[in-house]
């Protein structure tokens, strides 16, 4: 499979076989500290996301390449009203690939349509964040040794959670059982449920305590207070879905907890030291996957 | 009562068998309110086939593919004929294309196409019922959400 020069914009662009290839390649990737020597990566963050930016910069640095860019649009020419198209056309002359994070949905696709060099989407509004999804798939595969036949629960903000939409779609095509755990106010939108692959049955509940014992993976997302008009409703939810050692007593010992981070207090810090916590491993896997992707796309590794 | 006689077209386009409720939408899409051609719009006409129908005749206008595609989106049931020398020269079958470029606006206000100069693009995921996916923001829309440009 050839990935040199390819854009990474949406999980929709990848077949099952391509996803498996990317994960295999990431697992076996032996980093070389000069694979991308002399190559330059632009990181254009039109909205801040410290972890995503740092993980790309770390990946690029460890392969011998360098990064240019901005992490705060208020100091760049964007504030002066430059169009996205003009920014992309200018920047592509400076580098070998572009990472873009932008608050508008579809911005990364537009950038990729304009640029002649590869573009990687690091989050476009509420739409896609494919390197996060690939990291999540990689983490599950590495921890469980497989990507199918698993019982995976999603907890928290399933309505607005971009990571949940993207990951559940990808996992559904690998035949898993998916559990969506949320209050009715934050449940999975029908449009996303409809696009799930039918080979994966789904179950919906608002009771974590009743089904946590069935799960192999529990994927937790942050519930954002600004989504609620009623602060009491928010408080109630926060407490219902708080994961602590007590809640873990109901879980299988090998059940793993994932979270795209940063967390607020969905997961008690006492859980960090347990065998169940996988979220910091997940964060560090993000660098591994991004390294492998950069080597494939910019370096033409196979 | 005297019946209104509609002159036969010598040269132009006839759009017939439009569902009555779609008639003025079709007229609007074609920008007929600003047209200097001779235009006849008939609404709620008797039709043996459909009960009620709409009919539009435009003199000296020959619809291009883009215009035909727009009509296919809002009134796929209509029949389209090109008239030359008072004869039907061509019947055009209306069909929703596989991809729409620059034909409709994306109703997602947070979509990049509503903020940057970019031609909109929609992938037709299903023709019946009509389901479109924005090439940019990837949202899925139905016929009711369509805002034809
Ligand atoms: Zn859109």
- pLDDT tens digits for A71-129? 887 766 666 678 999 999 999 999 999 999 999 999 999 999 999 999 999 999 989 99
- Answer yes or no: same fold for A11-128+285-297 and A130-283: yes
Q: What are phi and psi of B80, to 5 degrees?
A: -120, 125
Amino acid A80: pLDDT:
65
Sequence spans of domains, chain A? 11-128+285-297, 130-283
Q: Which of A103-112, A279-288, B140-149 has the lowest mean pLDDT?
A: B140-149
CA of A132 to the centre of ligand 1 (A): 22
Percent with pLDDT over 90 in chain A:
78
The contacts of residue A231 (CB under 8 Å, 6+ apart) are A225
Fold of A130-283: Rossmann fold (3.40.50)
Q: Which of B61, B56, B60, B57 is nearest to B25 (CA)?
A: B56
| pLDDT score, position B7 | 66
Question: Hey, is the C-beta of A24 within 8 angstroms of any chain B C-beta?
Answer: no
CB A128 within 8 A of CB A101: no
Query: What separation in Å is there between the alpha carbon of A10 and the centre of ligand 1?
Result: 14
- Residue A269 sits at the vertex; the CA angle it makes with A235 and A249, to the nearest 5 degrees, is 85
Name chain A contacts of B112, Cβ cutoff 8 Å: 84, 102, 104-107, 109-110, 124
| Alpha-carbon torsion, ordered B92, B94, B98, B104, to 10 deg | 110
Decide if pLDDT at B83 tops 90: yes
State how far the Cα of B117 lies from the Cα of B119, in Å rounded to an integer. 7
Does the domain spanning A11-128+285-297 belong to CATH 3.40.50.150?
no
Q: Tell me the mean pLDDT in the region B31-48.
A: 90
**Confidence class for position B128, pLDDT limits 50, 70, 90:** confident
| Predicted confidence (pLDDT) at residue A14 exceeds the cutoff of 60 | yes
Three-state SS for A57?
A: helix
Q: Is A125 on the interface with B (CB under 8 A)?
A: yes
A199-236 pLDDT per residue, tens? 999 999 999 999 999 999 999 999 877 777 788 888 88
pLDDT at B1 over 90: no
Q: How many CB pairs under 8 A join A and B?
A: 55
B94 Cβ contact partners less than 8 Å away, ≥ 6 residues apart: B68, B71, B72, B75, B76, B78, B79, B80
Span B72-84, mean pLDDT?
92
Report the mean per-residue pLDDT for chain A.
93
On the CB side of B86, CA atoms within 13 Å amount to 2
What confidence tier does A175 reach under pLDDT thresholds 50, 70, 90?
very high
B35 Cβ contact partners less than 8 Å away, ≥ 6 residues apart: B58, B61
Mean pLDDT over residues B56-64, rounded?
92
* Mean per-residue pLDDT over chain B, rounded: 90
- C-beta atoms of A127 and B140 within 8 A: no
Q: Choosing among B122, B137, B140, B141, which should be mutated to test the A contact, i.e. which has the most A CBs within 10 A? A: B137
């Amino acid at each position: 499979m050839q990935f040199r020069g390819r854009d990474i914009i949406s999980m929709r662009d990848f077949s099952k076989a391509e996803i498996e290839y990317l994960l295999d390649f990431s697992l076996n990737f032996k980093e070389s500290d000069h694979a991308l020597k002399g190559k330059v990566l632009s990181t254009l963050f039109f909205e801040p996301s410290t972890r995503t930016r740092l993980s790309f910069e770390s990946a690029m640095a460890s392969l011998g390449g360098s990064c240019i860019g901005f992490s705060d649009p208020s100091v760049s020419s964007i504030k002066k009203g430059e169009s996205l198209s003009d920014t992309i056309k200018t920047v592509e002359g400076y580098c070998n690939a572009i990472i873009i994070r932008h608050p508008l949905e579809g911005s990364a696709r537009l950038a990729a349509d304009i640029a002649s060099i590869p573009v990687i989407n690091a989050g476009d509004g509420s739409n896609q964040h494919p390197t996060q999804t690939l990291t999540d798939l990689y983490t599950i595969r590495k921890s469980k040794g497989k990507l199918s036949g698993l019982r995976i629960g999603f907890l928290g903000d399933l309505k607005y959670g971009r990571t949940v939409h993207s990951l559940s779609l990808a996992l559904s095509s690998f035949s898993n059982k998916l559990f969506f755990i949320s209050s009715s106010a934050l449940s999975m939108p029908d449009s996303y449920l409809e696009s799930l692959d039918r080979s994966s049955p789904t179950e919906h509940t608002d009771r974590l305590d009743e089904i946590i014992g069935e799960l192999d993976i529990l994927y937790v997302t942050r519930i954002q207070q600004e989504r609620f008009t009623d602060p009491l409703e928010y408080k109630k939810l926060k407490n219902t879905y708080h994961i602590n050692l007590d809640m873990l007593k109901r879980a299988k010992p090998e059940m793993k907890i994932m979270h795209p981070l940063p967390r607020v207090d969905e997961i008690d810090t006492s859980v960090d030291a347990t065998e169940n916590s996988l979220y910091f491993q997940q964060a560090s896997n993000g660098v591994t996957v991004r390294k492998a992707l950069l080597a494939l796309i910019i370096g033409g590794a196979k | 009562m005297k019946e209104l006689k509609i002159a036969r077209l010598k040269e132009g386009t006839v759009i017939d068998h439009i569902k009555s409720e779609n008639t003025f939408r079709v007229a609007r899409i074609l920008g007929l309110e600003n047209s200097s051609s001779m235009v006849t719009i008939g609404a709620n006409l008797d039709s043996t086939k459909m009960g009620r129908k709409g009919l539009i005749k435009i003199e000296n206008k020959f619809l291009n593919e883009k215009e035909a595609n727009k009509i296919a989106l809002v009134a796929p049931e209509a029949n389209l004929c090109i008239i030359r020398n008072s004869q039907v020269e061509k019947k055009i079958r209306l069909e929703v294309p596989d991809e729409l470029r620059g034909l409709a606006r994306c109703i997602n206000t947070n979509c990049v196409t509503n903020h940057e100069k970019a031609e909109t693009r929609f992938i037709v995921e299903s023709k019946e019922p009509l389901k479109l996916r924005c090439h940019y923001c990837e949202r899925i829309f139905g016929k009711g959400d369509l805002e034809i440009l």
